[in-house]
Amino acid sequence: MRLAELSRRSGVSAATIKYYLREGLLPPGERVTATQAEYGAEHLRRLRLVRALVQVGGVPVARAREVLRAVDDAGQDRHGRLGAAVWALPHGPEPEEDDPVTALARERAAELTARLGGSGHGEGQAEGPPHRMLVSALAALLRLGYPCELEQLLPYGELAARLAVHDLDVIERYEPGNAQVEAAVALTVLYEPVLLALRRLAHAAESERRYAAPERRPPAGPVSPAAGEAGR
């Protein structure tokens, strides 16, 4: 297919596809003549993955290129490729070095991963981007005066470990090879908004259960149309 059809079938504007080609997020099509190129189903698939990463996952274009390069890297096994892909994901600001709060956050993160080590957490990942992400988030909480006690963090770690087992079970259902690494990246990135959205929905619901005045809640039975106002 030509670029215009790729655009029609994906819903992405031709100009944007050209931009992705230029940025190396999409491999070039097969050159038919000096001025025309042919694109296949794999281009369509890749384009949809790029869109999902960039728009839904919020991955910057430059990072997405690194992630996809890792996915395509035939020189590594799936563990290595997945690791490299996750390694390239965005992870917020670098924690400020030479800051006592950062040092405390680092210590908390180390305690947490140590305590979770037995149940499958990455003690070997200290200093990878996810670890730095954890440290800078904990440092921000500490700076705001929240103690970030281990006892409060542990449930998060345990649930994350359980999610990881579940996710890899799901990934194993796809045929090994590129499809599996691609699935791993897609599920890692795209389930992040799913998880955050579900947590926010659950917060609202739990807050409503605990604090909303009873007369505001609809009586038992089908949800009333007015119930949507309760969370505002």
Partner DNA sequence: ATGATTGGATAGTGTCACTCTCCAAGGAAT
Partner DNA sequence: ATTCCTTGGAGAGTGACACTATCCAATCAT
Residues 13-32 that bind its own copies (CB under 8 A): none
Q: 61, 104, 167, 178: which one contacts its own copies (CB under 8 A)? A: 167
Tokens of 52: 């999902």
- Which among DNA, its own copies, none contacts residue 104 (Cβ within 5 to 8 A by kind)? none
- Which among DNA, its own copies, none contacts residue 156 (Cβ within 5 to 8 A by kind)? its own copies
- Could you say whether residue 65 binds its own copies (CB under 8 A)? no
Q: How far is CA 222 from CA 41, 109, 122, in A?
A: 45, 45, 45
Q: 4, 32, 150, 194: which one contacts its own copies (CB under 8 A)? A: 194
Could you tell me which stretch among 10-18, 110-118, 146-154, 212-220 binds DNA (CB under 7 A)? 10-18
> What is the rounded CA–CA span in Å between residue 30 and residue 86?
30
Q: Give the count of alpha carbons within 13 A of 157, CB side only.
A: 25
Could you tell me which stretch among 26-34, 35-43, 60-68, 90-98 binds its own copies (CB under 8 A)? 90-98
| CB-CB contact of 17 with 6 (8 Å) | yes
- Which among its own copies, DNA, none contacts residue 32 (Cβ within 5 to 8 A by kind)? DNA
| CB-CB contact of 88 with 63 (8 Å) | yes
**Residue closer to its own copies, measured from CB, 37 or 83:** 83
What residue has token string 């996810």?
130
- Could you say whether residue 160 binds its own copies (CB under 8 A)? yes
Tokens of 197: 């959205």
Could you tell me which stretch among 16-24, 32-40, 60-68, 71-79 binds its own copies (CB under 8 A)? 71-79
What residue has token string 């991955």?
59
- Could you say whether residue 3 binds DNA (CB under 7 A)? yes
E strand or H helix that includes residue 135: helix 129-143
**Residue closer to DNA, measured from CB, 158 or 192:** 192
Across the chain, where does the E strand assignment appear? 30-31, 37-38
**Residue closer to its own copies, measured from CB, 77 or 97:** 77
Cβ-Cβ contacts under 8 Å for 21 (sequence gap 6 or more) = 28
- Could you say whether residue 134 binds its own copies (CB under 8 A)? yes
Cβ-Cβ contacts under 8 Å for 133 (sequence gap 6 or more) = 91, 92
Q: Which residues lie near DNA (CB under 7 A)?
A: 2-4, 13-16, 18-19, 21-22, 28-29, 31-39, 54-55, 60-62
